[in-house]
Amino acid sequence: MKAYFGRRYTLSASHRLHSENLSEIENQAIYGKCNNPYGHGHNYIVEVVMGGQVDPETGMVSDLVELDACVRKEILDRFDHTNLNTHACFQNLVPTTENFNIVIHDLLRTAFMKAELSVVRVEETSNNSFEYPVANSFERSRGAHSRGKGSAA
**Residues designated as active site:** 34, 81, 124
**3-class SS letters over the chain:** CCEEEEEEEEEEEEECCCCCCCCHHHHHHHHHHHHCCCCEEEEEEEEEEEEECCCCCCCCCCCHHHHHHHHHHHHHHHHCCEEHHHCHHHCCCCCCHHHHHHHHHHHHHHHCCCCEEEEEEEECCCCCEEEECCCHHHHHHHCCCCECCCCCC
